């Protein structure tokens, strides 16, 4: 079977993330607290400070763009770009609630950035690049829009075995239906999980001082069904797989997911491990 065209992937992404925008807003506070460390790491890796002009790619509901805007303060500026207008609407509401006036969000595709060459002092991006049909094209765009001697910092999911948080439902769904073995080059959650993969693409685009590190953490839930509901509300790719089960299968699969998550009890919490590749690089002088 031929792989879908880049245009088709991009349109599917737009629809998928618009569909779950309400879920992201519903669970915003929870995930904001749970994943704040990733945003702080990206801000550090991108060397953000007061006054810089920052581009955040695939901002969704505003991560890490909102923290970037607080970091660069009123003398700096942040632009967040994303395909999904409804995700960005949520980001705009949050920026307004935080009274941030130095941040704007606009729709667009990361592989065709609507900006002039050398117009940004830093690029950040969290959990977006692996969903692109043409990642090297996006990396070339990042290189184009960055000024010389500035940094890009990216977070992408590491391997499934290192991410029970994401792997549990996938394993359970596979117990009910045959899923084709994932094409390692197809866009998806784990497309950039391999150590060195994104780093290599950055090197090909002439970036230097490249770092690629696996960052370990966990997401903590009060109960396993909180885990189930939140993940199903926000994880568009997992929702797509879930939709392939009939309602009887969904009832059984939910029990199995909740049971599997329960194995990660940690005192009064359930702590589901996550592993994220933090990749950063500098555009040469």
Ligand X SMILES: C[S@@+](CC[C@H](N)C(=O)[O-])C[C@H]1O[C@@H](n2cnc3c(N)ncnc32)[C@H](O)[C@@H]1O
Which residues are near ligand X by CB under 6 A? 10, 13, 17, 58-60, 63, 81-84, 87, 109-111, 126-128, 131-132
User: At closest approach, how far in Å is the CB of 285 from ligand X?
Assistant: 29
User: At closest approach, how far in Å is the CB of 165 from ligand X?
Assistant: 13
Considering the complex, state which of residue 231 and residue 253 has its C-beta at the smaller distance from ligand X. Answer: 231
Considering the complex, state which of residue 132 and residue 260 has its C-beta at the smaller distance from ligand X. Answer: 132
Considering the complex, state which of residue 55 and residue 128 has its C-beta at the smaller distance from ligand X. Answer: 128
Residue number with the smallest Cβ distance to ligand X: 60
Rama region for 205: left / alpha / beta (φ>0; ψ in -120 to 50; rest): alpha
Considering the complex, state which of residue 152 and residue 258 has its C-beta at the smaller distance from ligand X. Answer: 152
User: At closest approach, how far in Å is the CB of 137 from ligand X?
Assistant: 10
Which residues are CB-contacts of 174 (< 8 A; sequence separation ≥ 6)? none
User: At closest approach, how far in Å is the CB of 209 from ligand X?
Assistant: 23
User: At closest approach, how far in Å is the CB of 264 from ligand X?
Assistant: 22
Considering the complex, state which of residue 157 and residue 207 has its C-beta at the smaller distance from ligand X. Answer: 157
User: At closest approach, how far in Å is the CB of 262 from ligand X?
Assistant: 25
Considering the complex, state which of residue 239 and residue 249 has its C-beta at the smaller distance from ligand X. Answer: 239
């Amino acid at each position: 079977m031929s792989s879908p065209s880049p245009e088709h992937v991009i349109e599917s992404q737009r629809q998928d993330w618009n569909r779950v925008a309400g879920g992201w807003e519903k669970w915003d506070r929870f995930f904001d607290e749970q994943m704040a460390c990733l945003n702080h790491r990206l801000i550090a890796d991108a060397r953000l400070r007061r006054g810089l002009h920052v581009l955040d790619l695939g901002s969704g509901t505003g991560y890490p763009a909102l923290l970037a805007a607080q970091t660069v303060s009123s003398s700096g500026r942040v632009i967040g770009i994303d395909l999904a207008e409804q995700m960005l609407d949520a980001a705009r509401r949050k920026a307004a609630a935080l009274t941030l006036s130095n941040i704007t969000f606009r729709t667009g595709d990361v592989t065709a950035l609507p900006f002039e060459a050398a117009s940004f002092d830093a690029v950040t991006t969290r959990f977006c690049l692996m969903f692109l049909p043409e990642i090297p094209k996006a990396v070339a765009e990042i290189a184009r829009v960055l000024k010389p001697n500035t940094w890009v910092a990216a977070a992408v999911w590491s391997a499934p075995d290192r991410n029970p948080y994401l792997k549990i439902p996938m394993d359970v769904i596979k117990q009910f239906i045959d899923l084709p073995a994932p094409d390692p080059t197809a866009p998806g959650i784990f497309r950039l999980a391999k150590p060195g993969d994104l780093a290599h693409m950055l090197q090909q685009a002439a970036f230097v001082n490249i770092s690629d590190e696996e960052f370990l953490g966990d997401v903590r839930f009060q109960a396993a069904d909180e885990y189930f509901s939140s993940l199903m509300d926000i994880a568009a790719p997992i929702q797509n797989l879930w939709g392939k089960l009939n309602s009887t299968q969904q009832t059984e699969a939910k029990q199995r997911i909740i049971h599997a998550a329960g194995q990660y009890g940690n005192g009064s919490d359930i702590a589901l491990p996550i592993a994220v590749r933090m990749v950063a690089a500098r555009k040469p002088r």
